[in-house]
Structures are given as C-alpha cells and as structure tokens.
Homo-oligomer: A and B are copies of this chain.
Amino acid sequence: MKRTTYAGLVDESFVGQEVVLKGWVQKRRDLGALIFISLRDREGIVQLVFSEEFSADALKVADEMRSEYVIEIHGMVKARDAKAINADMKTGKIEVEVHEASILAEAKTTPFEIVDGVEASDDLRLKYRYLDLRRPEMQRNLKIRSKVTKATHDFLDEEGFFDIETPYLAKSTPEGARDYLVPSRVYPGSFYALPQSPQLFKQLLMGAGFDRYYQVARAFRDEDLRGDRQPEFTQLDVEMSFMDQEEIQELVGAWVARIMKDAIDVDVQPEDFPVLDWAESMARFGTDKPDLRIAYELKDISPIAAKSAFGVFSGTIENGGVVKGIAVPGGADNYSRKDLDKLTQYIERFGAKGLAWVKVTDDGFNGPVAKFLNDQHDEIVAAMDAKVGDILLFVAAKEKVVAGALDYLRRQTAADLNLIDENKWAFAWVVNWPLFEYQEEDDRWIAAHHPFTMPNVEDLHFLDEGEDPHQAHAQSYDLVLNGYELGSGSIRIHTMDVQEKMLKALGFTNEAAHEAFGFLLDAMEFGFPPLGGIALGLDRLAMLLAGQENIREVIAFPKNASAKDVMSDAPQPVAKQQIVTDLGLTAPVYAENAGQPNMAEE
C-alpha cells in the first residue's frame, strides 16, 4: 500500500476519503470491542479507530499494537462527534476508521516516553538520540534548521553566489584555537588539520575570480566544550569581491531577513538594524553583543562619583577606574538582600569587588549605601534616567571589569523580572572593532578578528614602522541577534604589503609568515581583488529561531560535554595495525603490555 498522506495532515478536508497512513503508535486505548490508536508521524498525530464493525481483522491486529510499533493502515476519514472534538489538535475534528492494518515493526518499551517536555537526563537522551529525535519538539527544531539552509541556498543563488566546497583535509595554521589533526598514511608523521573555518580558501576563491562564493561549511575546533560549543559546527560562509562594507552589510541584512521569513515566518527590516560602533556598544551595554530587547543601558556616573561621599566611588575614580550603573525598572520591590548578595557573588568572577545598590523610593534612595549617595540624589537619578520603583546597581572598578559585571547584571535582571519580550528579534550591527586585542593569558596581542582583517584606511599608518599598531581599528562588522553573536565579518586585506605588515604586527617573522600563509601571500602577488565576507553560525541561528537555549537541540547527533558521541561510543581505540603500521604512530594503548582492550585487533 502506498501512503496517501502524512497522519499529521489529515484534517476535516479529508472527511469521506480513504487514506493509507504509516507511522508510529503514540498511544493505545483499549475498550475491548473498540480500540483507539494515536498514530504519529513527522507531521503530527491522528486518531485511528478499530472496531469489529469496520474490520474484525484490523481489530485483531490493533490488539497486538503497542507504543512505538510501526504500523500501516487503510481507512476512511470520518468527522468526530461534536463531543469528541479535540480543538487543540490539528486533526482533532476527525478520526480514521480502519479497514486494514498491519504491523511493520515491533518495539520494546522505550527508555523514555516520546513526548515533549520529557524527563530524561541529557546523557540518556543522547544515548537514545534516535528516540529523542522522535519528539515533536526535536522534529520541529531540525525542520527549522533545514529551512534556514534552504533559505540561504535560495537567496544566495538569486544573488549570484556559487556554492563551492573547500577541503576538510587541510593545513594546520598557527592562529586560532587547537586543531583537530588527521595523521597521513602517505607521509607518516605529517598531519592534515580539520579546518576551523574555510577562511583562507574562500579568500583564494576571490583571487580566483569567482566573485561571489558561499558554502554551508562544517568547521572544527578541539576546544574545551561549553554549553554552546561543539567539536564540529556549521557556518553559513560567504565571501564577495569588489564590495565595500556597507554593500556587504546590506546584502547580509537582506539574506537574514529572508531566513527569518522562510524559516519562521517573521518579517524583519534589515535597513532598521541599529549600527553600533564597537566602542559605543561597550560603553552603553558593556558588551560587543548587546541584547537590544532590554531597554535599560549602562550609565556612566564617574563625574558624580568623583565628588561622592562614598569612598569606594571616589577612590575608584582616583585610581583610574570608572563607576557605572544600571537602573532596573521595578527592581526595588523584586530584589531581596539575599538576591542581591547572590548577584554580588556572581560578578566577582568578572573581577568586581562589590555591588553597590540603592532602591529609588518616593523618599529618596534606600539601602545600605543610600546614606552616602542621597546627597547627590537628584544628580544620580538624572544621570541614571531612574524613576521611583527602580533599583540602581553600581559597579566601581576598572573599565573592563565594570563592563563585564554590568553586562551580566543587565541580562540577569532583565531575565529575572521578565523584562525581555520573547517575541522580539533584536538585530544589530557592531562595527569598527579594534584590529588587535590583548590576550592576558599569553601576554600578547592577537588579531581581534583574524590576521586578514583590513584596517580602516585612515588607520593604515599605524602598521608602519615606529607607530603603535594596537591603535588601529578595522573594517569589521559583527551581526548580533538578541545578545548573541550570529556572525563575524570583515573586509580583508588584498595586497601583500599590508598583509605582511599585519603579520609582522602579530609577531610573525617573515619566514614564519611565509611558512604559514605563503600560498596566500603568493596569491596576493598575482592580482587580488578587494574582498570581504562573513560567516553566520548556523547552529546558533537555528537555536535562536527554534527558541532553544542550547545548540545541541538543533544538531541531530551532537557530542556530549566531553566531546563524546555516547550513542555510537566514539571516539574509540582502533586496530593497532592501522595506528602503528599504517600511520607510524605510537599511542599509549598500543604500547607493549598496555593491557588495554582493543576490539579490532586481530
């Protein structure tokens, strides 16, 4: 029997029609002479009715059916009695009287029920991922992801982009995170690296004259995992020639608008995306990826604090620090001392020594430090744009500490008090980034974006001998959505003289630069066009559009927090022959008498 439609699509328009449906048994209600089966497929659930009246044979088969059995049925769609109508179900006005039925596959009891909001540990969900993915929510998540890529293919194809694949067995490059390596059998002791991005290849494709390239590209980073990181992730990667930053931002905006429309039917106006200077974003929000759904911003009260009776404030200013704060609307009644102690504790991780807070009341400030601040009450209220009922949270420290702490406090308080409109899609561009960024751990300057980022034209001279390159800003642009960085783009350097200066500023000797990027430097000598691009993180974008909080929810087969696929149990030891003989490597498990299990060894 050939399926006529999906179970989840059978609505009242099918009444009186015969249908063949195939899918999974969601639930079975056995009334003896009458059996009800909820049949599930990827589009939804429909109610089947088995009875002797319709088919004694089918009823007998239904008697055997259990949850998650795979079945096929042939039946007639009937309108339900008025009292049996389920208004919450798309198929709730009808049911299917079954005339023929068969079981295509049986099922054991599943380790968790196949429903949304399942109570199962993450590892259990991952181990039985093929069952977890049956849940309607996971089906929807991956469907949205699929629509994001389809919208991308459609839009970029219409705009004249070619879909070009770049290698996954590539060269290890010295910048960036730790590479995943792939040992070579032909050259023992040599390794390919799985790319952290197609960056060099896409620049070369512009040098090759393709003009507009895109790729849905997998990328790999062997980093310690966090909530929103995976060893492999996917980029919607584009590069184009002969376009300036403004033109690229315009095109990317239109692309993102298309994705929003096609994937979740939301209209956004890219011409209205705010464009924030990086420095402005840091000043107003304490972060380079501000969540613009939150109305209140960081306010600098340093000039007031300098004259403050509160020693912590005035002392901080004297020592070259700043005092900034946020006014959280309605916070006065909603934060207990205990809550505030918790917030204080949390911001210690940003280096903040403490949190100063006052509640704004009709009778002036209220709280432990109110007595020091009430003298400047009106000045502070004006600077903070505060009103009665607000709580004011201040951090006094070095600029960077204040930014980190207040960015956190802004997002946390907005979440606590439900001040974020979950139906809002707040895009923004953050532009004009510093070209370099200081890395404290290694006490060195690294490229803020990557070593191929073009400085602002008026800043080019900073790369010259005797100047301070770290003052240069870049032709770079990040796209931000609801407080997440969706993608990071820039105009690239396209001439060798600038590229060599940039690499020198990053501490590369001429020799090391050519060892690492020689082929790109070579290519720049043969007529390289002006170029730029961006890569959007597909996982994060799909996560946001699906309303999820972890990218694992939009990846079919993710790794767990220790980079393990707990379903297939990868990684694993493999045959000694392959490691030792073929690749010329020695791994601990293959050392003599290591006594390790080695399943594939003969």
Contacts and interface: CB of A to CB of B under 8 A. Distances in A.
B584 A588 contact: yes
Interface stretch (A104-112, A347-355, A408-416): A104-112
A455 B70 CA distance: 20
A326 to B, nearest CB: 39
Given A42-B211, A209-B133, A584-B587, A107 B242 contact: no
Interface in A320-348: none
Contacts of A130: 204-205, 207-208, 523, 526
A168 interface: yes
Given A110-B526, A150-B157, A164-B142, A178 B582 contact: yes
A242 B106 CA distance: 15
A222 B523 CA distance: 30
Given A146-B164, A170-B570, 8 more contacts: A2-B247, A41-B209, A42-B209, A108-B526, A169-B232, A181-B574, A181-B583, A189-B596
Given A131-B208, A527-B106, A572 B172 contact: yes
A189 B519 contact: no
Counting every copy of the chain, the complex holds 2
A228 B207 CA distance: 27
A529 to B, nearest CB: 5
A167 interface: yes
| Best-surrounded residue of A143, A200, A231, A569 (most CB of chain B within 10 A) | A231
Interface string A203-230: 0110111110000101010100000000
A557 B557 CA distance: 28
Interface string A508-528: 000010010001001111111
A556 B201 contact: yes
30 contacts: A6-B211, A24-B527, A42-B211, A68-B526, A105-B529, A107-B527, A128-B522, A130-B205, A130-B207, A130-B523, A131-B208, A133-B208, A143-B162, A146-B162, A150-B157, A153-B153, A168-B168, A169-B232, A169-B559, A171-B570, A178-B185, A178-B578, A181-B578, A181-B579, A181-B583, A190-B573, A205-B556, A515-B599, A519-B568, A584-B587
A168 B217 CA distance: 12
CB-CB nearest 8 A-B residue pairs:
A107-B527, A133-B208, A171-B570, A189-B589, A190-B571, A586-B586, A184-B571, A68-B527
